[in-house]
Amino acid sequence: MNISKAKQIYKESEDSRNLLLSIFTKEELGVSTIPSQEEFNKFFEEKILSKVDPSKTIFPNKNSFSCIQLYNSKGEWLFDYDYNPGNPHFWYSYDRVYTIFMNKISLQDVDRHRLMKSMVEKHFNLRDTQPYHQDL
């Protein structure tokens, strides 16, 4: 089977896609390399959430706001989120989170924002907020 025939079958038959992906790459088949939300969430869970050290997590106390900060085992900030309804946010480290995504999953900003927003809604129950990358 040549690549043009494989591309045609891939477009027309959902049942054949997994078989074709075991033979050809997504690029060869002309398939978008943007991961599905499920793939993105799994990647986030395996590569980012797995680095969180619960003993280094900072939870709000009676004198603070509603912001929770998560760190890795080295005490390096990974991300924080604030569930205050007046100003919910999800911020993440450029060096320790964003670059992992960019090195492993090449995405345009609009795609990254869309995928991160859905992931933030799933894992942190934050709605109507955009993730930002920044380092403190």
- pLDDT higher than 80, residue 56: yes
The answer on 54 and 23 residing in a single domain is no
The letter for the amino acid at 34 is I
Instruction: In whole angstroms, give the CA distance from residue 18 to residue 57.
Output: 40
pLDDT (tens digit per residue) in 82-129: 877 777 888 888 888 888 877 777 677 778 878 888 888 887 887 766
The answer on 39 and 12 residing in a single domain is no
Please state, as a whole number, how many other Cβ atoms lie within 10 Å of the Cβ of residue 27.
9
The answer on 41 and 92 residing in a single domain is yes
Average per-residue pLDDT in the chain?
Answer: 81
The answer on 21 and 45 residing in a single domain is no
Per-residue pLDDT at 55:
92
Domain span at 3:
1-31
Lookup result for tokens 């992992």: 100
The answer on 60 and 18 residing in a single domain is no
The answer on 126 and 63 residing in a single domain is yes
Q: What is the pTM of this model?
A: 0.65
Closest C-alpha among 91, 93, 97 to residue 131: 91
Instruction: In whole angstroms, give the CA distance from residue 41 to residue 47.
Output: 10
Choice between 62 and 68, residue whose per-residue pLDDT is larger: 68
Three-state secondary structure call for residue 41: helix
Q: 13: pLDDT confidence band, cut at 50, 70 and 90?
A: confident
Per-residue pLDDT at 128:
65
The answer on 85 and 25 residing in a single domain is no
Instruction: In whole angstroms, give the CA distance from residue 83 to residue 87.
Output: 8
Lookup result for tokens 């025939």: 5
What 8-state DSSP symbol labels residue 117? Answer: H
What 8-state DSSP symbol labels residue 15? Answer: G
Highest mean pLDDT among 30-34, 59-63, 93-97: 93-97
Q: Are 78 and 52 in contact (CB under 8 A)?
A: yes
